[in-house]
Amino acid sequence: MRVSPSIEEIGARAKAAARVIGGLSPAIKSALLESMADHVDAARAQILAANSADMELADAEGISGALLDRLRLTEARIDAIVAGLGKVAGLADPVGVVTKGWRMDNGVDVKRVRVPLGVVAVIYEARPNVTADAAGLCVKAGNAVLLRGSSYALRSNRAIGDALRAALVARDLPVDTVQVLDDTSREGATALMQATGWVDLLVPRGGQGLISAVAAEAKVPFVIDGAGNCHVYVDAAADLGKAEAITLNAKVQRPGVCNAAETLLVHRDVAAEFIPKVAAALRGEGVELRGDEAARALDGDMAPASNVDWATEFLDLVMAVKVVDGIGEAIEHIRRYGTGHTEVIVTEDLAAADAFVGGVDAAVTAVNVSSRFTDGEEFGYGAEIGISTQKLHVRGPMGLEALTCERYVLTGSGQVR
């Protein structure tokens, strides 16, 4: 049994590593990421063995199918991890970019420069691929990373972490740039959330329980990768063909993810035409529908929707349906129940689109586009560490830039005030 070091010890090691990693050139970081990919590739036997042990224990504890599936690693999934690290290696380096620059009247040159944050901590669930994905992004952005995964995945995470660390050692770089935390207890997570001075950014990736714990307990800076209670609003001026395609895609293409749609809002003027058609299509894909009174009047097979349904991120083949009197009611509904993730309007009316975009407060508002495009890959960020549903620092898909900050450098020749 390993003795877990204290969070201060872990933090101090990470800080020291971050100073070295933060100063590396883009070329050296790319080469390091490539090497990490190679080391994971070479360690696949050990990683798969560790994962088998995790799976056996989880199975013995009666863990459910969906969770087991997330926990499972296969040759193909390791291929994906290796490819992912290789892809991040090739992304444009965010560090050192001058985002703004000007000269003061007195001749002082001002640059606003992107720099690494320092130490990034990630708390996540039983998905071992996150160990490599998050580490790759954090390191590419010049940060050290603390990885606190689920106890169910501890062996898998350690095996992946060992491979990543071997790549650091092979290149004579600080091994503690990547640390997989042994302590997977609730207390350990709380200690990490409160490791003021050691953690520059905490990214919690998990369900509502984790998000609530972070909101209540965290003392370190964090970005909430929160719930996506996303809506599709079908306006009176919608092209109903597009509306049907978007609704179907947003609901069923991958129902278990945060950018899937949960509630369909339909303008009263098109409800009689649209709801029966879309309901049949959704049911054809296995979706269970829960409607308000007006929707049920048009489709007798819908179960009645409760206020709880409006507020629920189903993450499943379930959709709530509501008929609204107009765009104002749609906006009010979204303001009340939305989580600030992604909100969609389907309309051919420019004024309606503008009113929706102006009235809704979300990381992403989408006009005639499926909510499924709120995604780091789709945005061209190459990968994502999460999707921010808060307002400070960054909103929406978080790529490499979100793992940096901007500071100022002044250069002069003796200027004083």
- Of 362, 385, 398, 400, the one binding its own copies by CB under 8 A: 362
Instruction: Pick the closer one to its own copies by CB: 20 or 67.
Output: 20
Closest contact distance (angstroms) between CB of 139 and its own copies is: 18
Torsion of CA 51, 214, 261, 297, to 10 degrees: 120
- Of 214, 396, 399, 400, the one binding its own copies by CB under 8 A: 396
The answer to whether 413 contacts its own copies (rule: CB under 8 A) is: yes
Binding mask 23-62 for its own copies (x = CB under 8 A): x---------------------------------------
The answer to whether 328 contacts its own copies (rule: CB under 8 A) is: no
The answer to whether 258 contacts its own copies (rule: CB under 8 A) is: no
- By C-alpha distance, which of 204, 39, 68, 56 is closest to 127? 68
Closest contact distance (angstroms) between CB of 400 and its own copies is: 14
90 touches 385 (CB < 8 A):
no
- Of 265, 310, 395, 398, the one binding its own copies by CB under 8 A: 395
The H or E element spanning position 204 is strand 201-205
Q: Which residues in 201-220 contact its own copies (CB under 8 A)?
A: 201, 215-216, 219
By CB under 8 A, the count of residues binding its own copies is 66
Closest contact distance (angstroms) between CB of 416 and its own copies is: 4
Binding mask 365-394 for its own copies (x = CB under 8 A): xxxxxx-xxx---xxx---------xxxxx
**Alpha-carbon distances of 367 from 231, 238, 295, 348, 356, rounded to whole Å:** 12, 11, 23, 9, 9
Intra-chain end-to-end CA distance of the chain, in Å: 61
Closest contact distance (angstroms) between CB of 315 and its own copies is: 17
Both structure tokens of 409: 């450098």
**Alpha-carbon distances of 31 from 21, 86, 276, 393, rounded to whole Å:** 13, 9, 56, 29
- By C-alpha distance, which of 164, 199, 203 is closest to 42? 164
- Report the alpha-carbon distance of residue 336 to residue 186 in Å, rounded: 32
Both structure tokens of 384: 């994502």
Query: Residue with structure tokens 């193909």?
Result: 76
Instruction: Pick the closer one to its own copies by CB: 99 or 185.
Output: 99
**Alpha-carbon distances of 199 from 11, 35, 183, 390, rounded to whole Å:** 7, 26, 16, 19
Instruction: Pick the closer one to its own copies by CB: 63 or 113.
Output: 113
Closest contact distance (angstroms) between CB of 115 and its own copies is: 8
- Of 273, 276, 351, 408, the one binding its own copies by CB under 8 A: 408
The answer to whether 280 contacts its own copies (rule: CB under 8 A) is: no
Query: Residue with structure tokens 């001002």?
Result: 110
The answer to whether 416 contacts its own copies (rule: CB under 8 A) is: yes
The answer to whether 363 contacts its own copies (rule: CB under 8 A) is: yes
- Of 117, 130, 153, 278, the one binding its own copies by CB under 8 A: 117
In Å, the largest CA–CA distance within the chain is 79
The answer to whether 17 contacts its own copies (rule: CB under 8 A) is: no
Instruction: Pick the closer one to its own copies by CB: 283 or 335.
Output: 335
Q: Which residues in 75-225 belong to E strands, given as ranges? A: 98-103, 109-116, 119-124, 144-148, 178-180, 201-205
Closest contact distance (angstroms) between CB of 338 and its own copies is: 13
Residues in Cβ contact with 273 at an 8 Å cutoff, skipping those fewer than 6 apart: 240
Give the β-pairing of 261-267 and 303-304: unpaired
The answer to whether 199 contacts its own copies (rule: CB under 8 A) is: no
Query: Residue with structure tokens 């640059």?
Result: 111
The answer to whether 91 contacts its own copies (rule: CB under 8 A) is: no
- By C-alpha distance, which of 157, 169, 177 is closest to 13? 177
The residues binding its own copies (CB under 8 A) are 19, 23, 102, 104, 108, 110, 115, 117-118, 196, 200-201, 215-216, 219, 221, 223, 239, 241-242, 245-246, 248-250, 253, 353, 357-359, 361-370, 372-374, 378-380, 390-396, 405-417
